[in-house]
Amino acid sequence: MDTEEIYREMANSIVSLDQEKAVHLANQALDESMDLLQVIEKGFGEGIRKVGDLWDEGEFFLPELMSGAQIMEKAVDIITPGLQSSGSERQSSGKVLLATIEGDIHSIGKTIVATMLKANGFQVVDLGTDVKAEKIVDEAIKGDIDIIGVSTLLTTTMVNQKKVIDLLNQKNIRNKFKVIFGGAPVTQGWVDECGADGYAENAVESVKLVKELIQ
């Protein structure tokens, strides 16, 4: 089997949600001293992108999307020590900070977004739930973050999303970060009113949005 064929097999193992095969191929990549960066990018990474597309097109149920991400994570975990010992690093697509805003403890949507971003090569700093705008901005500054993602499920706590933008403006650092919103009540109108950079209705859309904004 030539290298390109192995990459295709790796991608297929993610798309067919075959964890055993993905683990086997990840170990094979280590054993055969393959180019591990390419293994992630051209092999498993291609698979997780296809999984996202399949969910987006209505072909996959949510657990299948998450299964793809779970298998991707396992494959990357196997490969990472080999990458580190060779002095390489998976090239980050960008650094995203995620938080559910103050007053709201809903986490599952944000965690799904974090999982899909990680699977697509982004570094994710997840501050958890019920996070004050001040903390989000402080951590974004400290963490050299590219994109701040703020989630909420309620109209009452949605107003706190705007505080993040207001704080960035007050500190004259608004242009250092892209800010995106997520959550059931968020609309384009709200994003425009707050001066945020975008919103996404689901995890796959959020990956696309982040990719667009980071270019």
Q: Does 55 bind another protein (CB under 8 A)?
A: yes
Q: Does 197 bind another protein (CB under 8 A)?
A: no
Q: Does 173 bind another protein (CB under 8 A)?
A: no
Q: Does 184 bind another protein (CB under 8 A)?
A: yes
Cβ count near 169 (within 10 Å) = 12
CA distance 110 to 145: 17
Compute the least distance from the CB of residue 35 to another protein, in Å: 26
- Residue closer to another protein (CB basis): 74 or 176: 74
Contacts with 180 (C-beta within 8 Å, 6 or more apart), sequence order: 147, 148, 149, 150, 196, 197, 198, 199, 200, 206, 209, 210, 213
HEC per residue, 160-181: HHHHHHHHHHHCCCHHHCEEEE
Q: Which of the residues 111 through 140 are near another protein (CB under 8 A)?
A: 111-112, 115
Q: Which helix (H) or strand (E) holds 75?
A: helix 62-85
Q: Which stretch binds another protein (CB under 8 A): 33-41, 62-70, 134-142, 169-177?
A: 62-70
| Near another protein by CB under 8 A: residue from 2, 5, 20, 57 | 57
Site string for another protein, 67-86 (x = CB under 8 A): x-xx--x-------------
Q: Does 106 bind another protein (CB under 8 A)?
A: yes
Q: Which of the residues 24 through 43 are near another protein (CB under 8 A)?
A: none
Give the pair of three-digit tokens for residue 20. 């055993």
Compute the least distance from the CB of residue 101 to another protein, in Å: 9
Query: 112 and 119 in contact (C-beta within 8 Å)?
Result: no
CA distance 148 to 137: 9
Q: Which helix (H) or strand (E) holds 141?
A: helix 133-142
Q: Which residues bind another protein (CB under 8 A)?
A: 55-64, 66-67, 69-70, 73, 103-108, 111-112, 115, 153-158, 184-185, 187, 190, 201-202
